[in-house]
Amino acid sequence: MAEATAIGRPAAPVLEGRPGDAELTDALLSPIFQPGPRVARGWLLLVGLAVLATGVFGVAIGATLTLGIGAWGNDIPVAWAFAIVNFVWWIGIGHAGTFISAFLLLLQQSWRSSINRLAEAMTLFAVVQAGLFPILHLGRPWFFYYLVPYPATTGVWPQFRSALPWDAAAIFTYLTVSFLFWYLGLLPDLASARDRAPTRLRQRLYGVFALGWNGSMRHWHRHRIAYGLLAGLATPLVISVHSIVSLDFAIASLPGWHSTIFPPYFVVGALYSGFAMVITLLVPVRRAFGLERVVTARHLDALAKLTLAMGLLITYAYVCELFTAWYTGDLYERYVAFVSRPLGGFAGAYWLMLACNVLAPHLLWLRRVRTRGLPLLGVAVLIQVGMWTERFVIVVTSLSRDFLPSSWGSYAPTWVDWSLLGGSIGFFGLLFLLFLRVVPFVPIAELKELRETRPEGLEATA
Amino acid sequence: MEDESERRALSRRAFLQLVTAAAATAGTACFRSPLDTLVPYVERPPELTPGVGTPYATSFELDGYATGVVVECREGRPIKVEGNPLHPASGGAAGVHEQAALLDLYDPTRARALTRDGEVASWSALSAALRSGAADGTGLHVLLGPTASPLVAAQLARLRERRPRARIHFFEALPPAPTVALASEILGRPLQPLPDLGRARCIVAADCDLFGAEPFALRHAADFAAGRRVRRPSDPMSRLYALGPTPTPTADAADHRLPCTGRAVPHFLAALLEAVLRAEGAPGELTQALAPIAAAAPHAGTIERIAGDLRAHRGEALVVAGRGQPAVAHALAWALTDVLGGIGKTLSFTEPLLADATNRDETLPALVDAMASGAVERLVILEVDPARLAPPALRFADAVRRVRDSVALAPHRNETAALCRWHAPSLHALESWGDGRALDGTVSLVQPLVRPLWEGCTRAELLAALVDDDAASGRALLRTAWAAEGRDAEEAFTAALARGVVEASAARRPAARIRLDAVIRMAGEAAAAETPRDGDVELVFRPDPALHDGRFAANAWLQELPDPVTKLTWENAAWLGPETARGLGASDGTWLRVAREGRSIEIPAIIVPGHAEGSVTLLLGFGPRSHLPASHGGGVDVTPLVPAGLPLASGLVTRVEGRPPHRLARTQQSQRQHDRSVARERTRESLEAAEAPRPLDAFYAPPQGDPPQWAMTVDLTVCTGCSACVVACQAENDVPVVGRDEILRGREMHWLRIDRYAEGGDAAPRTVSQPMLCQQCELAPCEYVCPVEATVHSRDGLNDMVYNRCVGTRFCSNNCPYKVRRFNWRDYQADVPEVTRLQRNPDVTVRARGVMEKCTYCVQRIRRAQIRARRDARPLEDGEVRTACQQTCPTRAITFGSIADAQSAVSRTRAAPQAYAVLEELGTRPRTMYLARVRNPLPGLGVDG
Amino acid sequence: MSGWIAAFSSADGALAAARQLRDARAGRIELFAPYPVEGVEEALGDTRPRWLPRLVLAGGVLGLVLGYGVQWYTTVVSYPLDVGGRPLHSAPAFVPISFESVVLGAALAAFVGFFASARLPRLWQPVFEVPGFESATRDRFWLAVVPTSSDPAADLGATLVDLGAERVEPLEGAP
């Protein structure tokens, strides 16, 4: 009854009706092999848009590499701005996937099965975006490898007291482990795709990536062990990655950055935006591919509740930050907390952040909002805007008002900054759309197993 | 485009060829600069070692007076200007202009050939043209700026003698104070004043920017600072009252700031004189005569006390009026100093040094009349720009068109050069032979350090060409003049060249007696003549501290040098007091229309706390220039409003409706400290209580390196914010210029900036100028956040920056509490023209795009000194290493050395009671420490703050 | 001709058959299914490798040693520099990377360990030659039996039919 306590009564089913194995398999493979014409057309249209946005991304990257960081709005004192904000935002979004699949797997939350692969894919693609920005953001990106310990003729190594090599290690590890975890989970379904492929070519392609999976008990056993172990490893990893990202700021002495609350604060924020992103993707996908029976109201409800919980936690973090700033009595901390953020040049961003992150989630107290697609989608989008703004407030506002009033400055983004943000969203969308049509985005085998092992979820009706 | 190709044409290699070329063109029949005196570089001259600089002494002239400098040459390229310790006006210091003039030598926009009607012409043709016409000089007119150069004076004398009917006119946009004429009136003989701040302990500067706009400013600042270094309350300390409309470095340095309009200054001085006389028990009629003038004095409540303070310093008191003030103000100032027993001590008089307009038909208006009447056949204009700077009412341009043959000697094809038929490029001081005199009369020589980059000649050479058929070279002219002085010995000449100054050449200082009654009569007349118009605002015209009257507009260093007070770069604005601004409903950047006598300009406002209300300061030197790229034409040209003579006028100021406010390119946004004790100040009394500072205990004890351990202290008490150190740093370390747009983005690159904080009321704030450079923290926050070890600590306590290792994460800048790190957002070094690159210091790495850079305590100078010491097998002496900023500082505010040696100067200054480290509570343990600004206010005189 | 492979429509059917064959000591048995079937260990005997978790642990330890070791060696031994006055051996600063390398090492070990123990990748396998075997990843449960040499193979195929197999196919080579 794990999910009973976790989700609460009355529990909508995690799988509606009782489709047979064959039926289930074909239904879940249809997006790849025989999607409806409407779906196919819509998909092509969206891909077109995404390609366009990705093109803009490319142009902006080109401008950055040829003109230098001067093409951005950054200055002294605001030496970090959009690029870092985007990086933290994307890496944060990338946290929900692994959390959902790994953490909930350990908690044996059966409802995760319908959505975990989609969430993991989102994680991968988000981390890819996140990984681009720290490199683009370097003054001399072509020397990024100076951050990697390799025996150079100069004899110089990276400086491991800085949080940036930690960052590099964390992102690399996270990207690798997320991919392994995702691919391992995908293996049986690649085999199904191989065995149902309509053309010889596709059969061979899926066959290659299935690596010879034959569904023998020998395979299943080892698969289960390895998958469980990876889940166990991924869970603390998720926590560690955003903690380390937060240290990029926390180890600095800058008022508004130098705070011990940052690691938990950032992890919560990451999951918050991550869940919001899962909802943002799940709602339209579920609708477009007619998967209401597989991704049920129950899933939306559960996700919404998790999001709400994170919203309350982030509110708590904000309050703590303000209290600490006041309680330390530190002149500079107080100035950032009570003057430059709420009243300064970027006050608009600050209040937008509060509106989106603190007020909006309270709509999720309403079951109607939790279980209906559109309203839920609206809240999710607001939260993502809010989380991006939060990082902007942390990075830019703190930098623009530091210790010496003489060096106070401002910041104004250029078209390159905006294009990089928009372009990365487009690129993310492109990768995700391709994913939808290339691999089964709902784990088939897991659902079959679920159908066998958890009948009680099926008896109840929505 | 063609200009571009010419730039290419003069690559470094080509330039060296020029330098080393044999004097092929020597001896051709023209009067161009002497090629015959340069040594062919075929085999290395013994005094030149590649990689080692050779210093040459020479001097620069500004406003007619010369300042001695020492210029370092590397492989034939002048790369750095320092002050000449032997020269009285320098004393080892160099101001912003002396240093930045170096960049003008490599200015790609300089005129490069003699032109006639815009076509390249031959010099022999010009010399022929100059000597055509009547032999007695009828119809020949010469126009030049006032100058103290004996060589030019000699040439003028020869001209007058050989061409008796030739007429010589003088013009300066902001003429020197009318002191010589005044002296002949109230001293009975033409003399000029020479204040000596070294002997003054109580000073009243009446609208007088002693440390900025006045001649001898470097010397004044040094002398003043000498009386301000206190460690104990018992230490003697001078007191300075600054009166006048405009906040200047002098007003910032003062103990009491007394803002008042320029017109009110004479009233204040009269009242002061009246009070002093009364207290001295002078005959009643004198004081009564002054009473009516004194009645209108500003700050009336303070006068009695200030008078008392002055009298308490009998023999050490000095009252001095500025060049912007009318004769009466100077007269009253002299009278005061006289009554207080200062004549011969704090103020002495020398015979006049300037060749300038001594009778009315030598002025510019006289010339214009002559031209208008068609009496001028040949006009020779020597390095002045009347076409731009003359009052428009004169209609100078129209008049010139009626001249048959006009010749302009100018470095650029400026407005005047474009107007004249002939344009002869003038040589840069570093390419010329000549001389000059300092305010005290000391003669210094000007010698060329390089062969002229492009053809040209000097004022003296052109003047000589007016009389001689076989034109002598500049050096020959100088030798002749030298011989005429009766000092024939070649050795003496060479010695003078080597030292830069001529022994015992200071002007005599005859005893002078002020005729008090004459002064008072004069004051009475002045008061009677004055007709204050209501509703008008007073317009105060001043030379820009950087661009002067615009002659430095081509100089990128000076264009980007933040104004000492407003921190404005690349443009000017109308300075207003806060109340006046409120009255106009203006804030920073609001467009104002300033109108006077039917002419008006539109100029953005800038609010300057401490500026006199009812008065507006307008800086000359800005506005579009025909011969310069648009980027150098920033700001607004205020010359249409400049009155002839005295730079004080009244006009109407209104707000321009509907014009969007202007974004001012300032390098400092907030001049308030927001309760953060960053730039500290204290009174002399409070020094008793203070104990020597102790650095905070660090969690990690900083590793003790080997001696020497470098450190610096900056004494905020004597820093006037003059910004000479900023230019010195820029020249020494190849700090790039980024331009107005990048400044607006907050991307200035100055390694050393001067922060200015104003505390207290807006009416008369207490200000502190704080040079801010890398603090070389022992526990540097920038270092531990660098992911690639691009910034690490050296064994001798420097915060090193490894440019080649830097990948540009900029984390170091984020974590620098002092924000002294600069980032190469774009490839700034690539924007530097090929010619200008010749100025670069070969000891400094050129930074690439995407790399962080910052102050390194001039590590190249440290290493060079260490190498020298090691070669001589001796220990490094204290004071042997001098950073660029320290070396050039007029007030010696910067001390540098090793704290490993407890007896070093820097160790001693760090032990001073007012020493502190900025943001020491962060535990960064800066090696750069500051001595809090110590003030010496007159007890109970509540005017400041 | 080395064995037989039979398709069952339900997991229970396949399991029942498997038990029978096990009791009959029919030979080596393997079950192919669309998802892991409950209770198959008891039917086929538990073949789960105990060494896989230990391998993962080893990977983690190796990661730790490498991660911390590289940081310590480069900072303390190879090129010591005074960085912000911090001690050369700044242990706390080395923790994050060490942790990441633990996870990385362990994860790689788990991944590699899986393929090693599952003898993958192996793109061709005898079972793939069996007609209709694709259904093993869809909705059918295939039971493969490779008799120990003595038994007569023919009646083993018949036995499978008796045990309720939908179809029985000969299997060439080991499954």
Identify the band that residue B942 occupies on the pLDDT scale cut at 50, 70 and 90. low
Q: Which residue of chain C comes nearest to A155, CA vs CA?
A: C79
Q: Angle formed by the axes of helices B474-484 and B150-162, to 10°?
A: 90
pLDDT, average across residues A404-423: 95
Alpha-carbon distance B567 to A409, whole Å? 14
Give the integer Cα–Cα distance in Å for B881 and B875.
12
Cα(B263)–Cα(B245) distance, rounded to whole angstroms?
9
pLDDT digit string, tens, across residues A13-23: 666 666 778 88
Whole-angstrom Cα distance, residue A71 to residue A69?
5
Q: What is the mean pLDDT of chain A?
A: 89
| Dist. CA B586–CA C108, nearest whole Å | 68
Give the pLDDT confidence score for residue B491 in this predicted structure: 80
Residue A33 is predicted with a pLDDT of: 85
Say if residue B480 is exposed, middle or buried (CB neighbours under 10 Å; 0-12, 13-18, 19+).
middle
> B131 pLDDT exceeds 60?
yes
Pairing of strands B378-382, B140-144: parallel
A7 pLDDT higher than 90 = no
- Decide if C50 touches A, using CB distance below 8 A: no
Give residue C154's pLDDT. 57
The arithmetic mean of pLDDT across residues A194-214, rounded, is 92
Count the Cβ atoms, other than its own, within 10 Å of residue C93.
22
pLDDT at position A291 is 83
Which is nearest to B137 in space by CA: B158, B153, B117?
Answer: B158
Q: What does the alpha-carbon distance between residue B839 and residue B108 come to, in Å, rounded to a whole number?
A: 12
Q: Is residue A8 part of a domain?
A: no
A251 pLDDT more than 90:
yes
Structure-block tokens of residue B205: 């500067």
Inform me whether the C-beta atom of residue C61 falls under 8 Å from chain A C-beta atoms: no
Q: Please tell me the distance from the alpha carbon of residue B245 to that of residue B213, in angstroms, as a whole number.
A: 14
Taking the CB of residue C152, how many other CB atoms lie within 10 A of it?
7
Q: Does A446 touch chain C (CB under 8 A)?
A: yes
The secondary element (H helix, E strand) that includes residue B574 is: strand B574-576
User: What pLDDT score does A17 carry?
Assistant: 66
Alpha-carbon distance A85 to A91, whole Å? 10
The rounded distance, in Å, linking the Cα atoms of B167 and B170 is 10
Question: How far apart are the two ends of chain C, measured CA to CA in Å?
Answer: 13
**CB nearest to C84's CB, from B781, B794, B795:** B781
* Confidence category of residue B26, pLDDT binned at 50, 70, 90: very low
**Helix, strand, coil fractions of chain A, as percent rounded to 5:** 75, 0, 25
**Sign, Cα dihedral of B498, B499, B502, B504:** negative
- pLDDT at position B274 is 92
Question: Higher pLDDT residue, B338 or B6?
Answer: B338
Residues of chain A numbered 389-448 and touching chain B (CB < 8 Å) = 399, 402-410, 412
Kindly tell me if the per-residue pLDDT of A82 is higher than 70.
yes
The contacts of residue A306 (CB under 8 Å, 6+ apart) are: A271, A275
The amino acid occupying position B76 is G
Q: Taking residues B838-858, report their average pLDDT.
A: 93
Cβ-based contacts under 8 A for chains B and C = 37
Q: Is A3 among the domain residues?
A: no
Write the CB contacts of B214 (distance below 8 Å, at least 6 apart in sequence): B208, B220, B322, B323
Whether residues B784 and C81 touch (CB distance < 8 A) is answered with no
Assign C77 to helix, strand or coil: helix
Confidence of residue A2 (pLDDT cuts 50, 70, 90): very low
Structure tokens at B869: 């010491």
Cβ distance B538 to B615 under 8 Å?
yes
Exposure of B586 by Cβ count < 10 A (0-12 exposed, 13-18 middle, 19+ buried)?
Answer: buried
Q: What per-residue confidence (pLDDT) applies to B39?
A: 47
Q: How many angstroms away from the CA of A69 is the closest CA of chain B?
A: 5
What is the residue-wise DSSP string for B143-208? EE--B--HHHHHHHHHHHHHSTT-EEEE--SSPPPTHHHHHHHHTSS--EEEE-GGG-SEEEEES-
| pLDDT for B34 | 45
- C-beta separation of B269 from B206 below 8 A: yes
Q: Checking DSSP bridges between strand B852-853 and strand B822-823, what pairing results, if any?
A: antiparallel
The pLDDT value given to residue B945:
36
Q: B829 to each of B102, B840, B849, how far by Cα in Å?
A: 18, 11, 8
What does the pLDDT look like over A252-261, one tens digit per residue? 999 999 999 9
What was the pLDDT predicted at B527? 77
Tell me the C-alpha distance between B567 and B754, whole Å: 9
Question: Which residues is A423 bridged to in the sheet?
Answer: none
B798 touches chain C (CB under 8 A): no
pLDDT per position as a tens digit, C59-82: 999 999 999 999 999 999 999 999
B763 and B580 Cβ atoms separated by less than 8 Å = no
Within an 8 Å CB–CB cutoff, is residue A212 touching chain C?
A: yes
Q: How far lies B892's CA from each of B223, B373, B726, B887, C148, in Å?
A: 10, 55, 14, 8, 102
- Alpha-carbon distance of C87 to B271, in angstroms, equals 67
Report whether pLDDT(B416) > 70.
yes
Are B789 and C84 within 8 A, CB to CB?
A: no
Q: What is the pLDDT of residues A18-45, one digit of tens each?
A: 677 888 888 888 888 888 888 889 999 9
* pLDDT for res A101: 83
SS3 assignment, position C6: strand
| Residue A138 placed within a domain | yes
DSSP character at residue B687: G
**Domain encompassing residue A91:** 15-149+157-459
Residue pair C32/A219 in contact by the 8 Å Cβ criterion: no
Structure tokens of A25? Answer: 């398999």
Chain C CB contacts of B782 below 8 Å: 84
Residues of chain A neighbouring C103 (CB-CB closer than 8 A): 173, 177, 233, 236-237, 240
Nearest by CB: B787 against A78, A79, A158 = A158
Residue B688: pLDDT band by 50, 70, 90 thresholds? confident
Name the domain count of chain A.
1
pLDDT for residue B691: 64
Residue B195, classified by CB atoms within 10 Å of its CB into exposed (0-12), middle (13-18) or buried (19+), is buried
Tokens 């109580």 -> residue: B202
Question: Looking at the predicted structure, is the pLDDT value of residue A9 above 50?
Answer: no
Q: What is the pLDDT of residue B173?
A: 87
Q: What share of chain B is helix, strand, coil (3-state, %, to 5)?
A: 30, 20, 50
pLDDT at residue B707 in the model = 87
Specify if A9 maps to a domain.
no
- Which of B201, B153, B67, B834 has the alpha carbon at shortest distance from B484? B153
Which residue from C100, C111, C137 is facing A191, i.e. has the nearest CB?
C137
CB atoms within 10 A of CB A286: 22
The confidence band for B926, taking pLDDT boundaries of 50, 70 and 90, is very high
- Does residue A1 lie within any of the structural domains? no
Lowest mean pLDDT among A419-433, B121-135, B655-669: B121-135
Give pTM, 2 decimals. 0.91
The average confidence (pLDDT) of chain B is 89
**Cα nearest neighbour of A254 on chain B:** B815
Task: Please give the pLDDT value at position B701.
Answer: 74
d(CA B82, CA B711): 22
pLDDT above 70 covers a percentage of chain C that reads 95
Q: What integer is the mean pLDDT of B416-428?
A: 94
In a domain, A39, yes or no: yes
pLDDT > 70 fraction of chain B, expressed in percent and rounded: 92
Q: For residues A158 and A150, give the distance between their C-alpha atoms in angstroms, rounded to a whole number.
A: 9
With cut-offs at 50, 70 and 90, classify the pLDDT of residue B20.
very low
Asked whether residue B17 carries a pLDDT value surpassing 70, the answer given is no
For residue A10, is it within any domain? no
The β-bridge relationship of strands B405-410 and B378-382 is parallel
Confidence of residue B288 (pLDDT cuts 50, 70, 90): confident
Q: What is the band of B697 on the pLDDT scale with cuts at 50, 70, 90?
A: confident
Candidate from A269-283, A410-424, B18-32, C145-159 with smallest mean pLDDT: B18-32
Q: Give percent helix, percent strand, percent coil of chain C, each to the nearest 5.
A: 55, 15, 35
Percent of chain A with pLDDT over 70: 94
CATH number of the structural domain spanning residue A229: 1.20.1630.10
CB nearest to A223's CB, from C33, C114, C135: C114
* pLDDT band at residue B293 under the 50/70/90 scheme: confident
Averaged pLDDT for residues B136-158: 91
CB contact under 8 A, A405 and B672: yes
Q: Say yes or no: A321 contacts chain C, CB-CB below 8 A.
A: no
Length of chain A: 462
Q: Which residues of B137-164 are buried (b: 16+ CB within 10 A; e: fewer)?
A: bebbbbbbbbbbbbbbbbbbebbeeebe
* Closest CA–CA distance from residue A181 to any residue of chain C (Å): 8
Rounded Cα gap, residues B445 and B630, in angstroms: 36
Q: How far apart, in whole angstroms, are the C-alpha atoms of residue B713 and residue B708?
A: 16
Q: Supply the pLDDT for residue B358.
A: 72
DSSP of B250-307: HHHH-SEEEE--GGGHHHHHHHHHHHHHHHHT--HHHHHHHHHHHHT-TTHHHHHHHH
Cα A112 from Cα A115, distance rounded (Å): 6
Nearest to B337 by CA among B310, B357, B364: B310
Is the pLDDT at B798 greater than 80, yes or no?
yes
User: What would the mean pLDDT of A131-151 be, rounded to a whole number?
Assistant: 94
- Calpha distance B343→B346 (Å, rounded): 6
Beta strands in B361-421 (DSSP E): 378-382, 405-410
> Looking at residue B28, what is its pLDDT?
38
* Among candidate residues B305, B68, B116, B325, the one with its CA nearest the CA of residue B942: B305
Structure tokens at B451: 């062969």
**Model pLDDT, residue B43:** 63
pLDDT at position B29 = 39
Phi, psi of B204 (to 5 degrees): -115, 115
What is the per-residue pLDDT across B254-280, written as a single tens digit (0 to 9) for each?
999 999 999 999 999 999 999 999 998
Is residue B22 scored above 70 in pLDDT? no
Distance between A72 CA and the closest CA of chain B, angstroms: 9
A254/B815 touch (CB, cutoff 8 Å), yes or no: yes
Q: If pLDDT is split at 50, 70 and 90, which confidence band does B861 have?
A: very high
* Statement: residue B748 has pLDDT above 90: yes
